[in-house]
Amino acid sequence: MRPMHGNGIIDAVSHEQRSEGSLLQGRNRKDVEAGGRSRSGAATRGRGGAVGAETGEAAELGVGSWAAVLAPRLAQFTAVARHEHVTRAAQELGVPQPTLSRAIVRLEDDLGVALFARHGRTLSLTPAGRSFLASAERALTDLERATESVRADVDPAAGKVAFGFLHTLGPETVPGLIRSFRADHPRVRFQLVQNYGEAMIERLRAGDLDLCLTSPVPDYPDLVARRLDEQKLRLVVPDDHPLAARKRIRLAEAAGELFVTLEPGYGLRRITDALCAEAGFTPRVAFEGEEAETLRGLVAAGLGVALLPPPAVPRPGVAELTVTAPRAVREIGVAWLDGHPDTPPVAAFKKFLLSRRGRLLPR
């Protein structure tokens, strides 16, 4: 893997510091003090907060812990339980001992149960306290891991992009796009989803995808879509078909043929039906499938003809004819949810895709 450029490292560090600062500014000052995290602590904390992902070991919940910021009362309780001594726990958390003592008493009052038995300056857990400790440690460990995970996903240099695309764009277009993007962003991670257009739009709305490449370009009020390119469709016929010797054809000349098509709901099926209607006929469908290359294979087997985009690799057994009328193309566009904030890696990849307008597809 290529080394990351120096300015990428600087940008990533500055983003982390800004993110932590903005989180703390939105919290009550007393909560920050009780949780044991100062602004300087936020800027200098390490990545060791989440411990024992495989073993289930509880996270270290000291002054630098995200769990201590997000769930301070549980962090205070587990620190006192671990030390069985308020002063030592207060020193670990970086809070005054009286503040911690009052916080533990308030927690017990709110729960309506004694969590500790007091023996002078030392404490021991009651049966209820032991039961509560086990659950509190699990909750804090999970919270620490979850916080680190979501922060890792938005890292400008190594964050995650959830990206959907059509099956027909899988062999060449999407691998080429990702390879080009990663030349300048080598550590950005991709969560890839390959599906038909309407299914990807539903996943955009559900928040499962950040961006998707689809066709036709969607026109919905809750989405933003930008046209990036167009792709010619060809009439694919068996190589022993009477039309196979032709180079060009008007689609109306295929009105008497059986068609193999994608299932209803697929964008290419809607385009096929619309083009046939424009040519003056309704296609007689012999088979409905889910994948364009399967249809091309069935054409080679003599099951019918099909309107398809060009293959990544020429397939034997078929002839591919240019359709002269009507104009047979499909538009490819990128779509995202309107008003959905972009993380830095998503914003970078979106900008990259938009910069490929008119040259998205291999020529």
**Contact in structure between 129 and 177 (CB atoms under 8 Å):** no
CA distance 30 to 49: 22
How far are the Cα atoms of 7, 178, 204, 353 from residue 156, in angstroms, in the given order?
11, 16, 21, 17
27-42+56-153 and 234-327 in the same fold: no
Domain borders along the chain are 27-42+56-153, 163-229+331-354, 234-327
CA distance 281 to 302: 21
The arrangement of secondary structure in 27-42+56-153, i.e. its CATH architecture, is Orthogonal Bundle (1.10)
- pLDDT at residue 363 in the model: 76
Residue 288: phi, psi to the nearest 5? Answer: -120, 125
**pLDDT tens, position by position, for the chain (363 residues)?**
333 333 332 233 223 333 333 322 333 333 323 333 333 333 333 333 333 333 334 445 555 566 666 588 888 889 899 999 999 999 998 999 999 999 999 999 989 999 999 988 789 999 999 999 999 999 999 998 999 999 999 999 999 999 999 999 999 999 999 999 999 999 999 999 999 999 999 999 999 999 999 999 999 999 999 999 999 999 999 999 999 999 999 999 999 999 999 999 999 999 999 999 999 999 999 999 999 999 999 999 999 999 999 998 999 999 999 999 999 999 999 999 999 999 999 999 999 999 999 999 987
- pLDDT at residue 36 in the model: 35
Strand partners, 163: 192, 211
- pLDDT at residue 62 in the model: 52
When computed from its CA atoms, the radius of gyration of the chain, rounded to whole angstroms, is 30
The packing angle between helices 86-93 and 72-83, to 10°, is 130
CA angle 258, 248, 304 (to 5 degrees): 15
Homologous superfamily of 163-229+331-354: Periplasmic binding protein-like II (3.40.190.10)
- Dihedral angle over CA of 46, 52, 58, 62, nearest 10: -10
The packing angle between helices 173-182 and 344-354, to 10°, is 120
Three-state DSSP state, 38: coil
The arrangement of secondary structure in 234-327, i.e. its CATH architecture, is 3-Layer(aba) Sandwich (3.40)
